[in-house]
Amino acid sequence: MNLVIDIGNSLVKLAVFEDTKIIYKKAIQLDFILKHVDLLRKEFKTINKTIISSVGRLKKADITYLKKNFDLVELNNTAKLPFKNCYETPNTLGMDRVALVSAAIQQYPGSNVLIIDAGTCITYDFVSDKNEYLGGAISPGIRMRYQSLNNLTAKLPLLETEEPKNIIGNSTNNSIHSGVVFGVLKEIEGVIDAYRLNYKDLTVILTGGDTNFLSKQLKSSIFANSNFLLEGLNFLLQFNSKE
């Protein structure tokens, strides 16, 4: 069994894989990581391999513990990749984006794939049918947009995410919901359309924390998979494990 640890901007996601199947998944606060990993060791006694992304946020003692108890892969820019990285600044490419592209390579080989990760930020990543990662885009996520309207203005309130009832907001709150949510939806639709002008056989994957909220509102044909990043990390663990 494999243990995948994804340290995100807000939470740490842990997943236990049996081959390519997720059999356990949980999101926790960073401070509780070792306590929870220890519980997983007792529950899933055959876990022997582990991968961590965003290693820089972990304490040295945490990494030491993981190295002592598992065959550990620390995902960084020296890792072996299953694709050709054509990014002009490969050392600045986030490991979350590397994992997403790796999942696309594994699950959609020989395809043009656009991966949209709707989380704290919305990232767009494109891998060609020639197994080449070409890059993409980064924009503010839904919560970041709500927070920016509150932080950078004097009077606009901070609202919880809500699906707008109408594109015409008839109050300040409704106008904010319309601006944020329809703004994100139209951005995503526009990006997909722009890619399809050049790649008509495009496969589009939507993932990230806002997957369920957005997928039911998008008109474009997409595959929604909230576990895509975890699956990519599991594939990278297998790809980088010692023979």
H-helix or E-strand containing 58? none
Q: How far apart are CA 82 and CA 192, in angstroms?
A: 24
Q: Is 159 annotated as a binding residue?
A: no
User: Does 45 show up as a binding residue in the annotation?
Assistant: no
**DSSP per-residue letters across 184-218:** HHHHHHHHHHHHHHH-TTEEEEEESTTHHHHHTT-
The pair of structure tokens assigned to 230 is: 């975890």
Residue 176 annotated as binding site: no
Give just the sign of the alpha carbon dihedral 150, 151, 153, 155: positive
Judged by DSSP in three states, 101 sits in helix
Confirm whether residue 6 is marked as ligand binding: yes
Q: Does residue 7 have a known ligand-binding role?
A: yes
Residues carrying an active site annotation: 96
12 is in an annotated binding site: yes
**Residue 209, annotated ligand binder?**
no
* 204 marked as part of a ligand binding site: no
Q: Is 11 annotated as a binding residue?
A: yes
172 is in an annotated binding site: yes
Burial of residue 242 (number of CB atoms within 10 Å: 0-12, 13-18, 19+):
exposed
**Do 101 and 83 contact (CB within 8 A), yes or no?**
yes
110 labelled binding-site residue: no
CA separation (Å) from 63 to 16, 47, 67, 72, 165?
18, 16, 6, 9, 47
Q: What residues form the annotated binding site?
A: 6-13, 87, 94-97, 117, 120, 172
Residues contributing to the annotated binding site for substrate: 87, 94-97, 172
Detail the residues annotated as belonging to a binding site for ATP.
6-13, 120
